[in-house]
Amino acid sequence: MKKYLYLVTLLLLIGQSLVAQTKKVYLTKSGSYTSNSKKAVSYVLVQNLGGDSAYMASLYDINNNLTAKGTYKDESLTIPTGKFVYYKNTPNGNYKSAVGYFLNGRRIGSWYDYSPDGQVIAEYNYENNTLNGVYKVYNPDVNTRGEGTTVNGLLQGDFKWYNGDNLLISESTYKNGKVTDQTTYLKAPKARFDIYSYINNSLAKSHIKLKPGQLTIKYVVNKDGKIEDPQIVSTLSADVNAKISSVLNNLVAYKPALYNNVPVVQNVSQIFNISSTGDVASVPPNGPDPFRQLAQEQFGQTQTAISRSM
């Protein structure tokens, strides 16, 4: 979300008077005007929606990918008011990455961040341009969610993580945005052997060599530590997908996850980097506590956006 305010700022830099029809304005990297499209990195289409108090602005990169759109109260585009939608461009196309509202130039109400497949991954509330109220983070890959509270732009009090069965799996206490205490109730499943080497060896026996890149595999570890329902998320050939799934399915590869020392079912999402030699290596999670880390990363992006005041 750290780019969202930058995109709004670019729109705010368009100060020339606009007539009723749609106008196209080119922008340089610094956000200044240019009549030379070859020097531009983006452009804005501005349309008068009627009268003198409603203007729709749509920001595009120079490759014609929509990156943001919203309405302004004035023709010089200095007072955002109403709904703003932000987009991210990926190899698979643009997707809606965030939605929020402004009132007289100030962020208000509920804002939402989205994943490429349209799932909500964060929701938070603004009061007069400052984060205040419920702050929620979702991780659809492993079916968990985190909930906390912001006060004057900082996490405050308890931040709790729940799994898909609504069990409390981890909680942290924040004071002025800093963690003062932490408790983990769910212990993640532990691999009994090097799963990545196991995949490598199995593929090699079938004379399969993967192309360099990255893939994600999702699966369930049951109460006996057995892998169930492996799914290949990244785009690979059907044959490779089938082979990796067959290698992992029903493999007793883990000591099961424990919730208060009782075995439980756990969703797992693993990212693999594939080297030029075809070897597969795991991408380790960030930080000692992935639940707290994910919450801090998402909140950090929101804080970055806040710091770019309008």
pLDDT in tens, 242-261: 888 999 999 999 999 998 88
Checking if the pLDDT of 298 tops 80, the result is no
Predicted pLDDT at 290: 34
Distance CA 147, CA 134 (A): 7
Contact 64, 57 (CB under 8 A): no
Count CB atoms within 10 A of the CB of residue 231.
14
Q: How far apart, in Å, are the Cα atoms of 263 and each of 43, 246, 259, 260?
A: 56, 25, 6, 9
DSSP 61-120: ETTS-EEEEEEESSTTS--EEEEEEEEEEETTEEEEEEEEEEETTEEEEEEEEE-TTS-E
Residue 15 within any structural domain of the chain: no
- Domain containing 246 equals 190-278
Is 146 a domain residue? no
Write out pLDDT tens, residues 187-231.
889 999 988 788 888 888 888 777 777 778 889 999 999 999 998
Closest CA to 295 of 191, 213, 178: 178
Is it the case that residue 2 has pLDDT exceeding 70? no
pLDDT exceeds 80 at position 169: yes
Residue 226 lies in a domain: yes
pLDDT of residue 120: 92
How many residues belong to the chain? 310
Give yes or no for residue 108 having a pLDDT over 80.
yes
Per the domain annotation, does 239 fall within a domain? yes
Sheet holding 266-274, edge to edge: 227-232, 213-221, 266-274, 280-282
Higher pLDDT, 10 or 93: 93
Q: Which residues pair with 175 in a beta bridge?
A: 178
Q: Which of 6-20, 138-152, 229-243 comes out lowest in average pLDDT?
A: 6-20
Q: Average per-residue pLDDT in the chain?
A: 80
Number of Cβ atoms within 10 Å of the Cβ of 252: 13
Q: What is the pTM of this model?
A: 0.67
- Residue 199 domain-assigned? yes
Label residue 233 by pLDDT band (50, 70, 90): confident
| 244 within a domain of the structure (yes/no) | yes
75 pLDDT tier (thresholds 50, 70, 90): confident
pLDDT of 119 over the 50 cut: yes
Query: pLDDT, tens digit, for every residue of 9-66?
Result: 555 554 444 444 788 888 888 777 788 888 888 888 988 887 656 889 898 999 999 9
CB atoms within 10 A of CB 109: 12
Residue 69 lies in a domain: no
The answer as to whether 267 is a domain residue is yes
- Domain count of the fold of the chain: 1
